[in-house]
Amino acid sequence: MGDRPLRIFNQNRSNVYSIRAGDGEPFKHDEHHIPQKKPPQRSQTDQVVSLGIGASSLVLEKLLSLPCIVLRRQCQVHPNPEKYHLTPFTLLPIMINLQKQQSFGAYWKGSSSILVTWSVYTISETVISEFTPFPKEISRHSSLRKIGEHLLLKSLAYAVTTPFYISSFIETIQSDIATESTSIFDCCKEAISRTVGWGVPQTTRLMSVWRLILPTVAFKLSRYILISVIHYTTISRVHMEQQENMDPSTSVDGHSPEKSMYELYFPELLASFTSNLIADIMLYPFETILHKLYVQGTRTLIDNTDTGTEVIPVITSYQGAVDCVRSVIVEEGISGFYKGFGALIFQFALHAIVLKCAKVLFEFISREYFPKKPRMLSSSQKK
């Protein structure tokens, strides 16, 4: 949540565009400071398509991914599993059993708390940026100081949201069989209670929120940086290939064909898919350790991912992150860091299918409804 990448588009050599998800129009930086004519406003069709793509990406990222995230997290915190579910094939029988026992609602646990967490993060980032000189957006030409201030802003927002991350995580893993249904207010209540220590027994192994802030910020910030770098690299490479593959024979009297809907919008979806996939794979062991610390001492009952037909308690006694890493290596081996990895594979396999369908749809719409039209080449492109 909140780690959507800084998107920097470099479609022409003379201009650099930077935009963050949901921030509206891109900011334009002219490297050569050459006055240019004001670009035409986007048509209503482009705006509708852009809005539709943004909404579809959000639904794909949050709604379609949630069942896989629930399974993955339950596997990660399972104390003594017989099956590590390193591939999606071993998860299929468990998913069927869970559906029979608890219906499909079991796969969308914690959806309301995820919305709360996203809202808290967004508000925190906005408020902090208003009262500090820290920028919410940066470009590839920003100074190291501006980049550092931007990352500091992200870190502060992640720190403020940490109690809500923890509360939301607990809601996504607890079994529906052993717990009552939760609401938006329950997420806020649990986050505040755990922060100030209300109703927490002194003898519990519960990790203090203050001890979890640093590892949470480190994880979230690392993921944000990875996604941003990979996203920019991917989309720049795609645009470069599009430029190289442009057919000169389509030019007429100094005109080149306008980019199709596929060329305009599909690279963004591809870059988002690639950046999230690589970042999640690289940080998976880190995520496993963090989630084990989140759930310790909460007396949470989770679905048994060995069978899918019963619940089990999560009972651990780690002294900290280092002790947790040591215990996983000794008791479970290196593969213990990747428990539930099959759910991640399944999640991005679904994403890949949707991405392929989107590609076919964009190509069809571009070919049938938006045929390419010649566009005037700029002076720099003619050279």
CATH code, domain carrying 221: 1.50.40
C-alpha torsion 243→244→246→249, nearest 10? 140
Which range of residues forms the domain containing residue 153?
Answer: 6-31+50-243+281-382
What is the rounded distance in angstroms from the CA atom of residue 154 to the CA atom of residue 135?
Answer: 10
Whole-number Å distance between alpha carbons of 358 and 265? 10
For residue 271, being part of any structural domain is answered with no
254, part of any domain: no
Q: Is residue 359 one of the residues assigned to a domain?
A: yes
What pLDDT does 49 receive? 63
Structural domain includes residue 43: no
CB 112 within 8 A of CB 187: yes
Is there a contact between 365 and 111 (Cβ–Cβ < 8 Å)?
A: no
Report the pLDDT value the prediction gives residue 20, as an integer from 0 to 100: 41
- Whether residue 343 lies inside any domain: the answer is yes
* 42 inside domain: no
In total, how many domains does the chain have?
A: 1
pLDDT tens digit sequence for 216-250? 999 999 999 999 999 999 998 988 887 777 665 55
Positions in the chain whose pLDDT score sits under 50: 7-42
Cβ within 8 Å of residue 143, ≥6 positions away: none
Asked, for residue 229, whether it belongs to a domain, the answer is yes
On whether residue 61 sits in a domain, the answer given is yes
Q: What is the pLDDT of residue 309?
A: 86
- Per-residue model confidence (pLDDT) at position 15: 39
Sign of the four-CA dihedral 79, 85, 90, 95: positive
